[in-house]
Amino acid sequence: MAAATQKIQAEIPHLRRYARALVRDRADADDLVQECLARAVAKLHLWQEGTNLRAWLCTILHNQHVNDIRRTLRAGKPVELNEAEPLLSRPPDQDNRLELRDLDRALARLPEEQRTVIILVGLNGMAYQDAGALLGMPIGTVRSRLSRGRGALRRLMSEGLDQPAGRAATGAFAPERAAAIPLP
Q: Do residues 144 and 138 lie in contact, with contact meaning Cβ atoms separated by under 8 Å?
A: no
Burial class (CB in 10 A: 0-12, 13-18, 19+), 165: exposed
pLDDT tens readout for residues 46-56 = 988 889 999 99
What's the pLDDT score for residue 165?
A: 38
Highest mean pLDDT among 58-62, 156-160, 161-165: 58-62
In tens, the pLDDT along 96-107 reads: 888 889 999 999
Q: To the nearest whole percent, how much of the chain has pLDDT over 70?
A: 81
Examine the pLDDT at 109 and tell me if it is beyond 90.
Answer: yes
Mean pLDDT of 77-86: 67
**Which amino acid is residue 58, in one-letter code?**
C
Question: How many alpha carbons fall within 13 Å on the CB side of residue 106?
Answer: 28
Q: Residue 169 in contact with residue 160, Cβ under 8 Å?
A: yes
Do 151 and 78 form a contact (C-beta atoms < 8 A)?
no
Q: How far, in Å, CA of 184 to CA of 179, rounded? A: 13
Reply yes or no on whether the pLDDT at 137 is more than 80.
yes
Domains and CATH numbers, the chain: 2-85 (1.10.1740.10), 94-178 (1.10.10.10)
Q: What is the mean pLDDT of the chain?
A: 83
- Burial class for 135, CB neighbours closer than 10 Å (0-12, 13-18, 19+): middle
161 pLDDT exceeds 80?
A: no
Confidence of residue 179 (pLDDT cuts 50, 70, 90): very low
Q: What single string gives the DSSP state of each residue in 92-130?
A: --HHHHHHHHHHHHHHHHS-HHHHHHIIIIIIT---HHH
Q: Is the dihedral of CA 134, 138, 143, 146 positive or negative?
A: negative
R_g over Cα of the chain: 38
Torsion 171-173-179-184 (CA) sign: negative
pTM for this predicted structure: 0.44
How does pLDDT run across 1-47, given as a tens digit for each residue? Answer: 688 889 999 999 999 999 999 998 999 999 999 999 999 999 999 98
